[in-house]
Structure 1
Amino acid sequence: MDTSTMFMLVLLVAVLLIVLLTVRFKIHAFVALIIACIFVGIGTGMPLPQIATSIENGMGGTLGFIATIMGLGTILGKMLEVSGGAERMAQTLLTTLGENRAAWVMTIVGLIAGIPVFFEVGFVLLFPLVFIVARQAKLPLLYVGIPLAVSLMIVHCMVPPHPAAAAITATLGADVGKVIIYALLIGTPAAIIAGPIWSKYISTKCTTNIAEAKAPTPNEELPGFGITLFTILLPLFIMVAKTIGVLYLAKDAAILPVVTFIGNPITALLISVFVAYYTLGLARGLTMKNLQTLTEQCFGPIAGIMLIIGGGGAFNAILSDSGLGKEFAKILMSLNMNPIILAWLVASLMHLAIGSATVAMITSAGIVAPLLAVYPGLSPEIVVLAIGAGAIGWCHVNDSSFWFIKEFLGLSLPDMLKSFTVACLIASVVALSGILILAKIVS
């Protein structure tokens, strides 16, 4: 057996091992990734001490950036949650655009409010409003609920500073500002087609059965729309401004180092956290002690996902240090497949098998990273988007998000599969189509 064949067999078994451990034996994804790292190291003949060093360096190199991003981003999301900012946005847009356009409003809200909060948190925050609006406007609950869920999923997979999107952006050396711009450009039409357009059709084919949702918060208890929108989008504005500044400022401009520093995701989020402390906290009667307590509450829930991302970083490092990544790149080149479609397909199949978009994205980044060296004209931002778009699809029975949405919408299993699962597939394919077009322009 030649080296390439042996290495590919090792990679295949490693991926199957991750799937088997997480799906069949219910072992935490972090532990499964570390076991897979050790298997790959031994299977490719790495010295045992080097395996441990590679795992350590991979985790440290990934979490050195991502842990800070996740910590600050979670604080921002917590402030949005406790202040009722997301609810304020939804109520204002519904009042302005009309309840009959509720599906479109929920798409917009999901794309914006979903930026600083995790998928599940965003849905929990906004679902009471979905329920009330659907009832008042006499609209099918599914018609309003699916657009919110799909738009939150798109942001979760494609837009930094969401953890997985930020992690693969760092892994592939992509520019955060460009990824944000491209992701919103590609994600918006995907959310529209898979959200309001698809849900208008499928909502007539499915039935929901849910209990009464809690009432929305009264308007007078919510923060203002303008200040909420400003606070949510501030880190994106700062990071995008840095990207534009780097493009147009002279390389020797005295202000360039300052622009680069402020536009770094860590600095941008730190600034935004302190703005949120004031606009959504102190200005609304919270004390510094309250803010300290809220901040402490942020970090426990992200420990698991942080370790998963660290484990993914270790897996990526093992693939690189063992030489397996280079061998895999050679085989991928021999397939003569579009590298963008390939990145999308790998992430899509990983999500289908593993059931976690986050794990699928982190693992896929390590597998397809060697393509960037083989295709020097390929934009790393495009590869990030392709992986994110692939991870949107195939949200089905082995994904906890699937059951989470199913219970909230009161759908039967068949109705959930043909509504939300298909919606995610539509969003994934539409996003891929947009990415292929965008690649012609930017690559």
Structure 2
Amino acid sequence: MPLVIVGIGIIALLILIMGFKLNTFVSLIIVSFGVALLLGIPVGDIVKTIETGLGGTLGHLALIFGLGAMLGKLIADAGGAQRIAMTLVNKFGEKNIQWAVVVASFIIGVALFFEVGLVLLIPIVFAISRELKVSILHLGIPMTAALSVTHGFLPPHPGPTVIAGELGANIGEVLLYGFIIAIPTVILAGPVFAKIAKKIVPESFTKTGSIASLGEQKTFKLEETPSFGISVFTALLPVILMSIATIISLLQKTMGVADNHLLAAIRFIGDAGTSMLISLLVAVYTMGLARKIPIKDVMESCSTAISHIGMMLLIIGGGGAFKQVLIDGGVGDYVATMFKGTTLSPILLAWIIAAILRISLGSATVAALTTTGLVMPMLGQTDVNLALVVLATGAGSLIASHVNDAGFWMFKEYFGLSMKETFATWTLLETLISVFGLGFILLLSLFV
């Protein structure tokens, strides 16, 4: 049975990564070869299948991912992220400090990848907690909730961007619906859950944590950083461009307006790749040249950003190769046949498969990509909104982060928690994001 072979492949992946401590990319390629052989793909076609999966996934993602990493790095290195965080903290005041952290983390989380946002914001959260004498976890839970939600639901983050590309979903719609789902999810999983967590594990809110492992942090005097307005505008520019194009396209369809050169130009500018390039060029000016930073230093930031995402790109490519093996080996068709005539919504099915894979594999991106390979053949039989399937896969791939996920250990170490406390805070937080996300997606599916 194809599903037994997939199960063997996933167990082998766990053994290679956790048992033999093998690099995730290398493990994915080894398992892809092994599963391809077991599924009966002709030996002469296996390498071609793996190359197609790897190239197809990275071909769509590398441009957006690379430009996005550079954009985030420029905002961070110029002090834009610090300006956004500190301005909101001052505006919201001590009483509403959690909401200030949520809004700042959400804005920064749109522009920066999860790990980068975490490393950038944690020193700021530690400084605020010291100044206001509040628990670091009181601020840390809302911060990580906002970062995790943007990472799971909003392009240009790798998960939603890759899945949208693979399923052929409109990336602007994914972004638009992603925002509608992300905002209530952040509120429930952030400040609301922080109150509940304090009752579940009160002792974890007394911990002081440690950020020594982050090394020397780049800090700025607030007057040295770009203005709040320009920092927010630069961080959100790709979102603004993609959203405008999507809204205009939706209006065009609704009102039955004939296509013309202006609408084509708006679609071109709102394309994920184009909007990321325009945003990067704007950031080179606003975060660099306008602040008299030499172009050499600006380009140095861009080069550093790319070197940091190299391995992550390969891992995503490896996930794409595994996904292609599942498609070419007929596993996707087998799953489609198995669920033929089922009343189970493809949205729910995508979430369930992604959740099982996430718990097994640890990597949200690999879980999301593998799910795509399994549910893709089913989507031709339904008229389900593809953007919602993308978001459901993203939600499922966030569930129950535990010991096989790097995020679990980062959260544990930075906040100085025990294993039990990390499960009761971080693991539960990620599960709530996943479940609330699914709930809001199903609710939205009644209207779109």
> Could you tell me which of 376, 387, 391 is aligned with 1:381?
387
Contact 1:312/1:359 (<8 A) preserved: yes
1:232 deviation in Å? 0.8
How far, CA to CA, are the matches of 1:321 and 1:427 in structure 2? 33
Contact 2:346/2:379 (<8 A) preserved: no
Q: Give the secondary structure class of the aligned counterpart of 1:441.
A: coil
2:326 aligns to what? 319
> Could you tell me which of 342, 349, 369 is aligned with 1:342?
349
1:296 aligns to what? 303
Q: Are 1:233 and 2:228 an aligned pair?
A: no
Q: Are 1:363 and 2:358 an aligned pair?
A: no
Q: Are 1:186 and 2:189 an aligned pair?
A: no
TM-score by length of 2: 0.93
How far, CA to CA, are the matches of 1:425 and 1:337 in structure 2? 21
Structure 2 gaps, min length 5:
none
Contact 2:211/2:414 (<8 A) preserved: no
1:216 deviation in Å? 5.5
1:405 deviation in Å? 1.4
1:269 aligns to what? 276
1:234 deviation in Å? 0.7
1:34 aligns to what? 29
How far, CA to CA, are the matches of 2:68 and 2:339 in structure 1? 36
2:166 aligns to what? 171
1:122 deviation in Å? 0.9
How far, CA to CA, are the matches of 2:410 and 2:181 in structure 1? 26
Contact 2:210/2:414 (<8 A) preserved: no
Q: Are 1:420 and 2:426 an aligned pair?
A: yes
1:323-381 per-residue CA deviation (whole Å, 9 max, x = no partner) reads: 22111111134664332222112112212111121222222222222221132x11111
Contact 2:136/2:208 (<8 A) preserved: no
Which region of structure 1 is more displaced relative to structure 2, 210-219 or 257-266?
210-219
1:135 aligns to what? 130
1:307 deviation in Å? 0.8
CA RMSD of aligned residues (A): 1.8
1:124 deviation in Å? 1.7
How far, CA to CA, are the matches of 2:210 and 2:186 in structure 1? 27
How far, CA to CA, are the matches of 1:11 and 1:414 in structure 2? 31
Q: Give the secondary structure class of the aligned counterpart of 1:392.
A: coil
AA aligned to 1:236 is: V
How far, CA to CA, are the matches of 1:316 and 1:212 in structure 2? 37
Q: Are 1:116 and 2:98 an aligned pair?
A: no
1:158-205 per-residue CA deviation (whole Å, 9 max, x = no partner) reads: 111011221111011111111111112111111111111111232351
2:443 aligns to what? 437
Q: Are 1:248 and 2:254 an aligned pair?
A: no
Q: Give the secondary structure class of the aligned counterpart of 2:445.
A: helix
How far, CA to CA, are the matches of 2:76 and 2:347 in structure 1? 36
1:97 aligns to what? 92
Q: Are 1:217 and 2:224 an aligned pair?
A: no
1:3 aligns to what? none
How far, CA to CA, are the matches of 2:35 and 2:343 in structure 1? 26
Contact 2:92/2:100 (<8 A) preserved: yes
Structure 1 gaps, min length 5:
1-5
Contact 1:344/1:387 (<8 A) preserved: yes
1:62 aligns to what? 57
Where do residues 10-25 of structure 1 align in structure 2 (5 Å cutoff)?
Answer: 10-25=5-20
Residues 118 and 161 of structure 1: is their aligned pair in 2 closer, same or farther, counting only changes over 3 Å? same
How far, CA to CA, are the matches of 1:55 and 1:312 in structure 2? 10
AA aligned to 1:307 is: L
1:48 aligns to what? 43
> Could you tell me which of 281, 284, 287 is aligned with 2:291?
284
1:100 deviation in Å? 2.0
AA aligned to 1:285 is: K
1:389 deviation in Å? 0.8
Taking only the aligned residue pairs, the percentage that are identical comes to 39
Contact 1:34/1:315 (<8 A) preserved: yes
Q: Give the secondary structure class of the aligned counterpart of 1:99.
A: coil
Q: Are 1:394 and 2:400 an aligned pair?
A: yes
Contact 2:230/2:286 (<8 A) preserved: yes
Contact 1:329/1:371 (<8 A) preserved: yes
